[in-house]
Structure 1
């Protein structure tokens, strides 16, 4: 074929136009992922916006992000005293949830707030949110039922996961070694020989079964109970306060009672025990005042299940009685002295 015929054939063959494929919009070209540490910092900054003006602080923050959803935001915060803990926790929880969802575009499923400390401050950012209610009206309102925060049980899960990983890894290594033509390990051979020669009637087998049963029951108990026994749940919110913080608040108020030289407070789940030493005054009156003040503090915490208050007052070694008792003692002493000493103006008895 000549060159001219080739050119005529190429000219006669139609050429298809190049059609470019449609370019997808930018939103469909990839995926945007927000790391946990970014959400953690955003939640911490949102909490600081509420706490810092009044002297509060964020102690610790964590976040669990899965796709476009934040499963949990956990905050450990410190509040400025005095503050209404229930209202402050609810306001902080609401602001952090809304602010984090607005800035990140993610759906926040849960925000947990834990109050770990109280600090003295002349002003508090949460005082404006404190409801204008008297102590009497607060006592008349029954607290709503609430549940204790649920513990994550990281230590038991990590221990049993580590034990299972070690045992499974050793067994897998031995099975692979046998598959490639090596002899089984001496540990497995001795274990199989021991199991074939011992039955349920042996003491060692019975003890091992008992230990396994106790461990299994303990795992079931851990899975079905909330845990966090050192934290007191607050009513109406997912916030909570540590028992040492509640004890410190009660101790601070109890130390201001006149006559109290030393006070020790122990906060439990169902009871708050107060042991006070009195340097002067009436022990019965001081105990009544301590009971009333402590009950006011516990009511102000807004707990779901307020613990009972138990007060014990003992006299200090330098205790002084109240002034009324001193006067009565002096009057009784003068009366006894007058009765024992005869009056000089009285007539002498007739012989």
Structure 2
């Protein structure tokens, strides 16, 4: 260890630094939360939101046979604006399911990513009925 003007630095072989420079100042401790920055990519928040939407749709029964929900997210200053595209079974309570999706997405993104979610736009892309699923399966066989 080499001592330079009251600071200690870690040194490797042949006087080369062994990695990031570590500076120790006596009597001063920096809290863990103040030592760096955390940036969660928009695509990670989108995955959290899509998974939360899937969770909300599967409550009370097996997950629907429709395509899984897709999410797009814009994050700005720890605020996430989310858009969810999904398909639902028909007949069903479309408003109730969309409300459940919004609630679950807000809850999960806030809990897992620590971001405020003031807006969740839910777009229902398609409705699937028992008859259309049977017809579609008949075409693929």
Q: What is the TM-score with the length of structure 2 in the denominator?
A: 0.66
**Does the 8 Å contact 2:50/2:69 carry over to 1?**
no
Q: CA deviation at 1:88?
A: 1.4
Aligned to 2:104: 95
Residue in 1 aligned with 2:43? 37
Match of 2:71 in 1: 61
Query: Number of matched residues?
Result: 106
Matched with 2:16 is none
Q: With a CA cutoff of 8 Å and minimum separation of 6, indicate the structure with the bigger relative contact order.
A: 2
Give the superposition deviation at 1:21: 5.0
Paired residues for 1:79-118 under 5 Å? 79-118=88-127
- What are the superposed Cα offsets for residues 284-334 of structure 1, whole Å, 9 maximum, x if unpaired? xxxxxxxxxxxxxxxxxxxxxxxxxxxxxxxxxxxxxxxxxxxxxxxxxxx
Distance across 1 between alignment mates of 2:98 and 2:74: 20
- Cα distance in 1 for partners of 2:72, 2:39 equals 17
Aligned to 1:23: 29
Contact 1:69 1:109 in 2 (8 A): yes
Counting helix residues as a fraction of each chain, which structure ranks higher? 1
Residues 1:47 and 2:53 aligned together: yes
1:121/1:99 CA distance change after superposition, 3 Å? farther
1:120 CA drift (Å): 2.6
Q: TM-score, normalised by structure 1?
A: 0.28
Q: The residue matched to 2:36 in structure 1 has which SS?
A: coil
Instruction: Write out per-residue CA displacement over residues 200-249 of structure 1, whole angstroms, 9 at most, x where no aligned residue.
Output: xxxxxxxxxxxxxxxxxxxxxxxxxxxxxxxxxxxxxxxxxxxxxxxx9x
2: CA distance between counterparts of 1:91 and 1:26?
Answer: 36
| Counterpart contact for 1:48–1:57, Cα < 8 Å | no
Distance verdict in 2 for CA 1:62–1:81, change over 3 Å: same
- 3-state SS of 2:86 partner: strand
Query: Offset at 1:50?
Result: 2.0
Equivalent positions of 1:1-351 (< 5 A) are 20-52=26-58, 53-55=62-64, 56-70=66-80, 72-121=81-130
Structure 2 vs 1, CA of residues 46 and 62 (structure 1 numbering), >3 Å: closer, same or farther? Answer: same
Change (3 A) 1:57 1:93: farther
User: RMSD in angstroms over aligned alpha carbons?
Assistant: 2.5
Task: Compare the two structures and name the one with the higher strand fraction.
Answer: 2
Offset at residue 81 of structure 1 (A): 1.5
Which residue of structure 1 aligns with residue 138 of structure 2? none
Counterpart of 2:3?
Answer: none
Residues 76 and 114, structure 1, Cα contact 8 Å, conserved in 2:
yes
Q: Which protein has the larger Cα radius of gyration, Structure 1 or Structure 2? A: 1
